[in-house]
Structure 1
Amino acid sequence: MKRLLISSIKEIYSWFIRLLSNSNRQNDIVEQVCYLMSFPNNDQGLIEAIQQHYPIVVLYSKSCKDEAKILEKNGVSIYCLDTINGLINAIKQLSISKVIVADNYFACLGDIMFKETQTVYQLWHATGAIKQFGLEDKAAMKRSKKDKERFKRVYNAFDYVFVASKKMGEVFKRSYGFSNEQILLTGFSRTDYLVNGTKKNKQKDKRHILYLPTYRDRIPLEKWLLDIECVSKHLNEHDLLQVKLHPHVKLTQEMIMDNVEWIVSNQSADDYIKQADVLITDYSSVAFDFTVANPDKQLIMYWPDEVIYEEITGIQKGIKQDFPQKVVYTLTELLEQLNSNQQIDNQRFNQLWNTYNDGKATSRVVGEIKKVMDGEK
């Protein structure tokens, strides 16, 4: 009964979007860029770079409210996608903008009747991919026929995708059904900050160990979360463990330890990534961010729930062979790798996945947008 109700609500939403899109069908296309934002700190200056050349409108989800408000103060028009009035205005902007840039899957895109003179880009929110998504997401493929049709309508709305490597291009070809012509090898804009930005001063006598796990929807916390208390006991006096969990992860009790720092969930991880000596993660794309920011620092992939995760979501084939070090599955293996004196070299990994993340990605992304806006493409 619940699934039927949810499906009915989604059908009503699709009908509403088509109605709004049709009502704007006669409006002329405007020489502006429309940016769909669902991930805070994902553009890292791209919006401002676009604004230097063209008017830009930002359509944001409530998780990006603070960032959107800052952009508004800088002259950017903003609309919240999570309110009825905001959604109505958002569909109008999407219907009239010459260029649309999206940082994620947005359901509304599948029901808007875009004109041939409009171009829709997928910017995405991750440098590379460890877990499967789109057409390869095992959970999504178990959904109803109507759901799958709706997913594909959204995938088909995109004309191009910006990627940082041929590897990621291949992922999008499998995940969204894109062709070679739709893959733009520009680099991932957000990594410019990781490559070029000044690193903050850190405690020189401390080794900064950063733990950034991804979120699991249907896997019990105890099956995958690192035993913070145990790791804390095994660290030496020169180690500092910094932990940033997903906002949806709630611990049963607060753990206060002298050598553990808890990072606020809504705070950007980028500065912590840049100053970290070690990153511990699992299926999160922060692995790619870390190695491009720190070519000679240690990346530890901790997969205690690999079998369950592979079954529920799916993992990119062959990705384990790409990592600089072997994946670890137990706390003992993790501590051994953490305290090993192995020489770290992320060069091969970066060549495969961060090929075009050279600190100039934003200018190439803006260059592609300019081709469309200036009628060269």
Structure 2
Amino acid sequence: MSLLWSGRRQRDVVYLMSFGDNVPFIMALAAAMPADRQLLVFYRPSCQSAADELVKAGIAVRPFTDGFGFVFTGISQMMRARVLFCDNYYAFLGGLRHPKRMRIVQVWHAAGAIKRFGWDDPTTAHRSASDQRRFQAVYDHFDEYVVGAPAMGQVFVTSYRASLDQMQVLGYPRSDRLQDRHWVAHTQQRVWQQVPALKGHRVILYAPTYRDGVTFTPPAGLAQALRSDPDARVVIKMHPALATKAEDLQRQLGAQGVVADTLATTDLLTVAETLVTDYSSVAFDYSLLANAHSLLFYLFDLPAYQQDPGVQPDLLDWLPGQALTTNAQLATAIQADTATNVTQFNQHWNSANDGHATERVVARYVALLSD
């Protein structure tokens, strides 16, 4: 279908948004663009609040879902793009005719990777040949990848069968705010206003990854381990699909458990003295915050998770601290409250996430609009 519009001149910028945490970058991009060029953001319905922010800033947005409606209304606009930003894997790209002048740029939604994906996912080898061709057709459309460190570039090389020269180590724009002391201070005040029970206490945030297609059941006794520091307050933050599990665990925490359902995980990271996570990318964000004290990896299901979906083979080499696999180990780590040294961890995954990624990424791709 994209052949119908393949002859159009590529002049504008299109951003495909399925994660709503890159709004400052999109606004900076809009502000830097030439007056005769347009920016259009297509967004998934789950990003409605982010889209509303963009509308207030005068940026054109369009909702989209996969289907014929988008094919007939969205593809025609997308084919005008000189630069097409993607923040995720979008299956429809596999059927798109890639104009020579269009630069398709992957601005991934996480600064690092613990889980395997793409060709590195053990389950991919068991998919049909047609599925594998379809996956690679999407991967082949990406011309460049914006990454925060060479380590993430290598992940894309193996996961998407990309080449190293496609990697642009410019830093992730979404990471800039984590090192903006004004944004952090404002966010902390907002968290304390909305959840005053956290003010003045050690905050322990438990934020596990979403296990796609897997029934996640927190181990018995986890709540007791999480409340090992009697003076701390514990917040549970899980994927919305696991709301019932989160509520059950929250009840088990008793008086030490604090409900903060209205706040995003990133907001809560700014007040957390201790983050307990597993395979989630929140670890890469937390390690950039000045308030980050202890980063604990609670990998109770590591043997099974190594099989499906799999973890990076060198995980234990760069993990900052011990892989905690039992409630007793987690309880001991919480009680010890030892600061986690994240220096090498950040050198590995966040080397270009220095608070100035937005200006570098904007400069690179706005420059393409003048050639």
TM over 0.5: yes
Q: Tell me the SS of whatever aligns to 2:310.
A: coil
Are positions 1:68 and 2:55 aligned together? no
Residue 156 to residue 225, structure 1, CA distance change in 2 (3 Å): farther
Are positions 1:178 and 2:162 aligned together? yes
Q: Distance in 2 between matches of 1:233 and 1:116?
A: 57
Whether the aligned pair in 1 keeps the contact of 2:176 and 2:355 (CA below 8 Å) is: yes
Q: 1:218, CA displacement in angstroms?
A: 3.7
Could you tell me which residue of structure 2 aligns to residue 325 of structure 1? 321
The alignment yields a C-alpha RMSD, in angstroms, of: 2.0
Q: Distance in 2 between matches of 1:113 and 1:226?
A: 52
- For 1:2-60, what per-residue CA distance to the aligned partner results, in whole angstroms no more than 9, with x for missing partners? xxxxxxxxxxxxxxxxx2x122123222x22100011122x140100000022211111
Whether the aligned pair in 1 keeps the contact of 2:235 and 2:259 (CA below 8 Å) is: yes
Could you tell me which residue of structure 2 aligns to residue 14 of structure 1? none
Percentage of identical aligned residues: 30
Q: Tell me the SS of whatever aligns to 1:339.
A: helix
Could you tell me which residue of structure 1 aligns to residue 229 of structure 2? 235
Q: 1:74, CA displacement in angstroms?
A: 2.3
- How many residue pairs were aligned? 351
Question: Which one of 24, 27, 33 corresponds to residue 8 of structure 2?
Answer: 27
Q: Distance in 1 between matches of 2:219 and 2:203?
A: 19
Are positions 1:39 and 2:19 aligned together? yes
Q: 1:282, CA displacement in angstroms?
A: 0.5
- For 1:288-341, what per-residue CA distance to the aligned partner results, in whole angstroms no more than 9, with x for missing partners? 101011475111001111111111101001122212211100111001111115
Q: Tell me the SS of whatever aligns to 1:249.
A: helix
Question: Which one of 195, 214, 230 corresponds to residue 219 of structure 1?
Answer: 214
Q: 1:374, CA displacement in angstroms?
A: 2.3
Q: Distance in 1 between matches of 2:219 and 2:369?
A: 46
- For 1:91-132, what per-residue CA distance to the aligned partner results, in whole angstroms no more than 9, with x for missing partners? 112211110000000011111112111100000100000000
Could you tell me which residue of structure 2 aligns to residue 271 of structure 1? 267
Q: Tell me the SS of whatever aligns to 2:109.
A: coil
Report the more deviating stretch, 318-327 or 203-212: 203-212
Q: TM-score, normalised by structure 2?
A: 0.89
Q: List gaps (5 residues or longer) in structure 2.
A: 193-197
- What amino acid sits opposite 1:123 in the alignment? V
Q: Tell me the SS of whatever aligns to 1:109.
A: helix
Q: Distance in 2 between matches of 1:129 and 1:208?
A: 25
Could you tell me which residue of structure 2 aligns to residue 48 of structure 1? 27
Q: Distance in 1 between matches of 2:31 and 2:310?
A: 40
Q: TM-score, normalised by structure 1?
A: 0.88
Q: 1:230, CA displacement in angstroms?
A: 2.0
Could you tell me which residue of structure 1 aligns to residue 195 of structure 2? none
Report the more deviating stretch, 121-130 or 195-204: 195-204
Q: 1:280, CA displacement in angstroms?
A: 0.5
Could you tell me which residue of structure 2 aligns to residue 198 of structure 1? 184
Q: Distance in 2 between matches of 1:27 and 1:176?
A: 29
Q: 1:88, CA displacement in angstroms?
A: 2.7
Are positions 1:357 and 2:368 aligned together? no
- For 1:206-249, what per-residue CA distance to the aligned partner results, in whole angstroms no more than 9, with x for missing partners? 10111111111343322x5685532355331x201111110111
Are positions 1:142 and 2:126 aligned together? yes
Q: List gaps (5 residues or longer) in structure 1.
A: 1-18
Whether the aligned pair in 1 keeps the contact of 2:270 and 2:291 (CA below 8 Å) is: no
Could you tell me which residue of structure 2 aligns to residue 11 of structure 1? none
Q: Distance in 2 between matches of 1:227 and 1:219?
A: 20
Question: Which one of 107, 110, 116 corresponds to residue 126 of structure 1?
Answer: 110
Could you tell me which residue of structure 1 aligns to residue 153 of structure 2? 169
- What amino acid sits opposite 1:24 in the alignment? W
